[in-house]
Chains A and B, each alone.
Chain A
Amino acid sequence: MALLEARDIVAGYGETQILHGVSLVVNEGEIVTIIGPNGCGKSTFMKSVVGLVQVRTGSVTFRGADITAYPPERVVRTGLCYVPQSANVFPSLSIRENLEMGAFIRGDDGRARIDEMFGLFPDLARRPTARAGSLSGGQRQMLALARALMLDPVLLLLDEPSAGLSPAIMGLVFERIRDINATGVALLLVEQQAREALRLSDRGYVLSGGENRLEDRGPALLDNPEVARLYLGG
């Protein structure tokens, strides 16, 4: 059953239209990756799903409910969490406070969940009072993931989780993504590291010029000669 279904999304900023009708499906427990050239609207698509960018026409359905017009703070409550590409932690808050904010709309104080997160990301547990602004890129990315997981999401949207990281740390992030998925959370990724991402994805989409270009199983996309030529650097 489709968990998230976006149909013919048209969106943009001001008078510039960036998405000209993008459709996409994420099923329960899947990892889905969107790849495409710079400026094709990958990030805009994610933002329009979570409500940061207004959808002009088209619809977004999540777990059977139409969330197209929901503001972001309401989208989160439906079990869909989002990690932006950059600036994805609160720099002046400590690690623990960042996680507490992640738990803002939980019924409880989230303490148990924070401990779980510390178990999943041992790095974060080492200095819970450190300001997030003082963390390295990899640590920030981990914290951002942990923050988004505080709400036990059903679907996690990650915008370029590997951006700006060294290859070693990048590998670590992908490892964590796999771990998260293993707990039953579905993931939708936007990635520049198309090869890496497609390898661990169930399915992938290729976006170009604000429209769908291709859709296939992850490994199949990797083998597609056109994709390889266009987006994987040969």
Chain B
Amino acid sequence: MAGIYAVFALGLNVHWGYTGLFNIGIAGFFALGAYTAALLTSPAADPLLFEEFVFAGDWAQLGILDLGIDLWFVLALAAAGAACGVVALLIGYVTLRLNDDYLAIATLGIAESVRLFFLNEKWVANGSKGLYQIPQFLEGWLPSDKYNYLYMVVVIVVLAVLFALVQRVMKSPWGRVLRAIREDEVATAASGKNVFSFKLQAFVLGAVIMGVGGALFAHHIRFVSPLTFDPLLGTFIIWAMLMVGGSGNNLGAILGAFVVWGLWVGARFLPGELADPNFRFFMVGVLIVAVILLRPGGILGELRRVTRGRAGRSAVRLDDG
């Protein structure tokens, strides 16, 4: 689970940590990825639903072809990523030209719209009841009680691949431009870079990663419903992970995911009031604020490759690791 969240933290790191894009609708991409994967790999839940697919036009054609056929898992991940990428492309195209704050509101809007869509359009995904019995990757190789170990390996492999990818990309000249945009958009534009296009690419890349995360999630839990993707577990906690681990640092993002998820799960075993999920909810918020106030760089902070400081305090970060 922490591994899956680490994937999201990585995706968010591409948005916020590297490019400074403020996405508060992670849950939307989360849900979209999960649903895409679930729909592509699930057998039709019941004949009635199948009928509806037939009448629903082009989109459903895809459904008919794939329904009941155990699609190759990797393809599902790719499709989930692609779906998120397309949505990100559309929404980014509209909002990335504008003020940063608009993006935040727009992503919030996407998250809400995606949720409402899956909640209300029962023909797509069974409405509020959700999809269940989503098949798992390599199901049957191992007895079900051991299966989680196998899946853990799968998640770690995917995470490692994505980590290597993001790491590589961010070291490339392309990644340097992104960081430059985060530091000073105007100067970057002045040096002849098409800021909008770079931001859009980064937004899409991050969204694709989130989509993959969503797909991994769907195959792990084997159940998706609109209620799964509430803002807390779908968005807030991922922010906490990135902030704690250190935005702008991929290792930090992954570390943050494990630390925060560990705290989250571990808190269940605390005595009395402290185990209350509402209290944990509260603490997620406090944690984010505390990190911003006290340790803007997170645990790891960003390894500075460019020796240029930002105005103000942010230069403090890499003091003592």
A–B direct contact (CB < 8 Å): yes
Least Cβ–Cβ distance between A135 and chain B, in angstroms? 27
Majority-rule SS of A interface residues: loop
* Residues of chain A lying within 8 A (CB to CB) of residue B192: none
B285 within 8 A of A: no
Interface residues of A in 1-32 (CB under 8 A from B): 13-15
Distance, CA A111 to CA B312, complexed state (A): 41
Majority-rule SS of B interface residues: loop
* Residues of chain A lying within 8 A (CB to CB) of residue B312: 14
Distance, CA A13 to CA B310, complexed state (A): 10
| Closest chain A residue to B311, Cβ basis | A14
A interface footprint on B308-321 (CB within 8 Å = 1, 0 otherwise)? 11111001000000
Distance, CA A13 to CA B309, complexed state (A): 11
Interface residues of A in 114-134 (CB under 8 A from B): none
* Residues of chain B lying within 8 A (CB to CB) of residue A15: 308-309, 311, 315
* Residues of chain B lying within 8 A (CB to CB) of residue A14: 309-312
Instruction: Give the residue of B308, B311, B315 whose beta carbon is less than 8 angstroms from that of A13.
Output: B311
* Residues of chain A lying within 8 A (CB to CB) of residue B309: 14-15
Least Cβ–Cβ distance between A56 and chain B, in angstroms? 14
| Closest chain B residue to A15, Cβ basis | B309
| Closest chain B residue to A13, Cβ basis | B311
Least Cβ–Cβ distance between B127 and chain A, in angstroms? 49
Least Cβ–Cβ distance between A80 and chain B, in angstroms? 26
Interface residues of B in 290-320 (CB under 8 A from A): 308-312, 315
| Closest chain A residue to B315, Cβ basis | A15
| Closest chain B residue to A16, Cβ basis | B311
A interface footprint on B163-205 (CB within 8 Å = 1, 0 otherwise)? 0000000000000000000000000000000000000000000
Distance, CA A22 to CA B34, complexed state (A): 63
* Residues of chain B lying within 8 A (CB to CB) of residue A13: 311
| Closest chain A residue to B312, Cβ basis | A14
B interface footprint on A165-202 (CB within 8 Å = 1, 0 otherwise)? 00000000000000000000000000000000000000
Least Cβ–Cβ distance between A6 and chain B, in angstroms? 24
| Closest chain B residue to A14, Cβ basis | B311
A interface footprint on B276-296 (CB within 8 Å = 1, 0 otherwise)? 000000000000000000000
* Residues of chain A lying within 8 A (CB to CB) of residue B311: 13-15
Distance, CA A11 to CA B312, complexed state (A): 14
Least Cβ–Cβ distance between B281 and chain A, in angstroms? 38
Least Cβ–Cβ distance between B172 and chain A, in angstroms? 26
B interface footprint on A32-48 (CB within 8 Å = 1, 0 otherwise)? 00000000000000000
* Residues of chain A lying within 8 A (CB to CB) of residue B315: 15
Least Cβ–Cβ distance between A183 and chain B, in angstroms? 40
9 cross-chain CB contacts under 8 A: A13-B311, A14-B309, A14-B310, A14-B311, A14-B312, A15-B308, A15-B309, A15-B311, A15-B315
Listed in ascending order, the chain B residues whose CB lies under 8 Å from chain A are 308-312, 315
Contacts A14-B310, A15-B309 known; 7 new A-B pairs at CB < 8 A: A13-B311, A14-B309, A14-B311, A14-B312, A15-B308, A15-B311, A15-B315
Closest CB pairs A-B (n = 7): A14-B311, A15-B309, A13-B311, A14-B309, A14-B312, A14-B310, A15-B315
